[in-house]
Chains A and B, each alone.
Chain A
Amino acid sequence: MASYSTNEFKGGLKVMLDGDPCNIVENEFVKPGKGQAFNRVKLRNLMTGRTWERTFKSGESLEAADVLDIDMEYLYNDGEMWHFMRTDGSFEQFAADKKAVGDTSKWLKEQVVYTITLWNDNPISVTPPNFIELEVIETDPGLKGDTAQGGSKPATLSTGATVRVPLFINQGETLRVDTRTGEYVSRA
């Protein structure tokens, strides 16, 4: 496997640190007047999502992580694993476990395309599109005419996610939701 020296470190580079694949977020070069130079690096551990700050002597290197972000369509859940298929026409399928899917499980809808992060060909995380359209399967009845004032109520969506929606929203309607904040955007 290739390795990267500190001077090649830049945002987005995937490297191995303490056995986990990490994404480099920031790299700052520091050097005392005379003496050893260092690279102060911020990395996100792709397994845990945690951000690490590490300082390396300049010139040190880290092994490259075989990490790829690939678009895949969600197919189905077999009770244990979530199955996805590549959208490049290869029909290649990958199964993601609970750890990889994490909180994204509440945004999984069949035929929607997600970004699957593969490490050594295994899915380690699933990122939903920023916006997704989902049907309301349960909410208190809508208040007719109440389209202007504030006020909100919980609504359960087809994927199991619960979001706050305006009072005028009814069961059976399709909504546009921001998956990053978990907030209602509009009627779809």
Chain B
Amino acid sequence: MKADDWRPGATMDALRARAGLMRHIRDFFHARDVLEVETPVLGRAGSSDVHLDSLCLDARTMHGDERFWLQTSPEYHMKRLLAAGSGPIFQLSRVFRDGETGRRHNIEFTLLEWYRPGFALEALIHEVAALIETVLGTTLPQVRFRRYRELFKEHFSVDPLQESPDTLVALRDHAARHAGADTTSWSCDDCCDLLMSLVIEPLLGREGLDVVMDYPASQAALARRRTDHDGAMVAARFEVYLEGIELANGFDELTDADEQQARFEKDNRMRRELGKPPVDADQQLIAALRTGMPQGCGVALGVDRLIMLTLGLEDIDSAMAFGTARC
């Protein structure tokens, strides 16, 4: 511990700005008749996402000792509310992701997540842009839609959706050059993730909001899959970038219980391959989807990063009172 670690990472001005931003967010949704909800931070089910590591703990309950998961996002619980007929809902919640610490990552952070039954992706993207404009207090010069495959064609002359041995060779080659590492065993998604994070992302959102769409179907997570206008299978998913920072991630939500069950199983197969512990499928979510969750879109936005952007901060630690290094 350093002598100064007892102090907050954020200035008092930054904390005041943070409080104001939270108020703006709540006002924004109240004005649009979106209900604020609170769901558990501690759940019996964890995210099965291959690239998310949950924190677990044991607690004594009415059933004896039980294993609980600190939620990596309030997604499962909020979807259960949607299936129970909540209508549009939003939540400002604390979420936890093990191992994620850095200039833009803190193990515990604040996520704004909201769901819009009946909305198409484009309508939700416009709402995200409106929220960002409200919070920043400025008008964004533009909101650009960028297709994932077009970005790769532009930067690397490779179409990542064109599945072929040549594509994989080319992607590994670019990834090796940018990573300076041995990428011979890397998958297509590994290479795409690396090139996206290291090369493309820093250039996005420099003249307004860039919204990346039509992700590879393999990166669908909990989004529906659809056919893009070139006939390729893509994930109905978007990510929002501002000033080179990834701010939000939205889905046209998967509502099919069988498909959800299949994705849980696929995640766990991949987790085993990577030597990660499997995560039991959330049967309560499956049951909720069986009952019927209204079709619609949802999005999660990193509040701490929005504060970084509002105040021009370089480090997430200075956007919160006590980041992981000081907690």
- CB within 8 Å of B: which of A122-174? none
Spot the interface stretch: B22-30, B88-96, B152-160, B175-183: B175-183
- CB within 8 Å of B: which of A56-84? 56-59
Chain B residues near A56: list those with CB within 8 A. 181
CA distance A31 to B198 in the complex (A): 9
Given A7-B99, A57-B190, verify A34-B49 contact (CB < 8 Å): yes
Say yes or no: B51 contacts A40, CB within 8 Å: no
Chain B residues near A28: list those with CB within 8 A. 102-103
- Which residue of the partner chain B has the closest CB to A55? B179
Q: Does B167 count as interface, using CB distance less than 8 angstroms? A: no
Chain B residues near A58: list those with CB within 8 A. 99
**Interface range on chain A (Cβ under 8 Å from partner):** 20 to 34
Q: Does A36 count as interface, using CB distance less than 8 angstroms? A: yes
CA distance A57 to B186 in the complex (A): 10
CA distance A33 to B190 in the complex (A): 13
Chain A residues near B100: list those with CB within 8 A. 29, 31, 37
Q: Does A38 count as interface, using CB distance less than 8 angstroms? A: yes
- Which residue of the partner chain B has the closest CB to A35? B193
Q: Does B105 count as interface, using CB distance less than 8 angstroms? A: yes
Q: Does B246 count as interface, using CB distance less than 8 angstroms? A: yes
B interface SS class? mixed
Say yes or no: A38 contacts B197, CB within 8 Å: yes
Shortest Cβ gap from A169 to chain B (Å):
44
Given A40-B198, A55-B194, verify A34-B180 contact (CB < 8 Å): no
Say yes or no: B201 contacts A32, CB within 8 Å: yes
Say yes or no: A36 contacts B180, CB within 8 Å: no
Chain A residues near B221: list those with CB within 8 A. 34
Q: Does A185 count as interface, using CB distance less than 8 angstroms? A: no
- CB within 8 Å of A: which of B77-111? 99-103, 105
Q: Does A110 count as interface, using CB distance less than 8 angstroms? A: no
Say yes or no: A29 contacts B101, CB within 8 Å: yes
Shortest Cβ gap from A126 to chain B (Å):
29
CA distance A37 to B75 in the complex (A): 21
CA distance A35 to B196 in the complex (A): 10
Q: Does A52 count as interface, using CB distance less than 8 angstroms? A: yes
Digitize B166-203: 1 where CB-to-A-CB distance is under 8 Å, 0 elsewhere: 00000000000011110000000110111011100100
Q: Does B261 count as interface, using CB distance less than 8 angstroms? A: no
Q: Does B310 count as interface, using CB distance less than 8 angstroms? A: no
> A residues near B, CB below 8 A?
7, 28-38, 40, 52-59
> B residues near A, CB below 8 A?
49, 51, 99-103, 105, 178-181, 189-190, 192-194, 196-198, 201, 219, 221, 237, 239, 246, 249
Given A34-B249, A37-B51: 17 more A-B contacts, CB < 8 Å: A7-B101, A29-B103, A31-B100, A31-B105, A32-B197, A32-B246, A33-B246, A33-B249, A34-B51, A35-B51, A35-B193, A36-B194, A38-B198, A40-B198, A54-B180, A54-B181, A59-B99
